[in-house]
Amino acid sequence: MGTVILTWNIQWGRGADGRVDLARQLTEARAMADFDVLCLQEVTSGFGNLPGHPGADQWGELADALGPEYTVIGGFALERHDGARVQRFGNAIATRLPLLYVMRHALPSPPDATPAMPRMAIEALVQTAFGVLRIITTHLEYYSETQRLAQIDALRAIHAEGCGRVAHPPVLGAESDAGPFRPLAQTTATLICGDLNCKPDSIPKRLATIPFSQHPALHDAWEIAHGATPQPPTFGVHDRTDWTEPAYACDYMLISEPLKARVLRVEVNSATQASDHRPMLLELGGDD
């Protein structure tokens, strides 16, 4: 078995039946695969007023439910304070692979006259059987294409900067390797996954995989695995109360060039009704 990564917009644990149940979602995720890495979007704390009334700290709930085998990494896109009341909304990565380091990136939100909320990406470098892997999970703006385009550019820049550090690694100089200047592991093997909030034929989605002039290109993992067969819808499949338009794909797994030959399978779980989105799985094989 290779390295298995699963991504899912969990809508703060809320299923198509309106009930919030993180345990149900984790059960369905485990039924889909014995995952090494679980990337989640729409995780909350302090938002008990949302439909279904999620718990006070879903990052903590995830850590408790997954147990000590997994490290849960939180990323707050929104952190709003109102006196003693704190509300957070964002993403999470849970991994049982050796974790090398984590970076959290605020994504751009250029002014636009639409509803919007802050967005961010978690970048985690993990050690796999085939080497170091950069995993980035995110949830892009829904209403504003202007902001989505800027956020796609930012994600591409994160990948490009990481590749650039491989070609031009930092040196310690006068600094000690026991302190914070110790060089970090680097790789050109990148996975960007999550809810990109854009349809397969949209401009932001097409721009995500435009080749770089100096760095390994990004590719849609579904297309690598399935060729011209369209990706199944990942949003609006079963939740027909809150969403009445046709279902479509908006959750993706983008991989860099070095990972293309390692793709063993890419799957979408079209049956689950535990969220308004469908989970997506990528398995990478091989070793060095």
pLDDT by residue (tens digit) across 159-170? 999 999 998 988
- CATH architecture under which domain 3-169+183-284 falls: 4-Layer Sandwich (3.60)
Per-residue pLDDT of 224-238, as tens digits, reads 999 999 999 999 888
| The pLDDT value given to residue 192 | 98
pTM across the whole model:
0.96
Angle at 244 between CA 243 and CA 248, to 5 degrees: 75
Element spanning 30, H or E: helix 22-32
Angle at 245 between CA 119 and CA 199, to 5 degrees: 45
**Phi, psi values for residue 224, rounded to 5°:** -65, -40
Residue % of the chain over a pLDDT of 90: 87
Strand partners of residue 85? 82
pLDDT at 288 over 70: no
Question: d(Cα 190, Cα 96) in Å, to the nearest integer?
Answer: 18
Q: Following DSSP, what letter does each residue of 69-93 receive, concatenated?
A: TSEEEEEEEEEEEETTEEEEEEEEE
| The pLDDT value given to residue 176 | 78
| The pLDDT value given to residue 243 | 73
Domains of the chain, by residue range, sit at 3-169+183-284
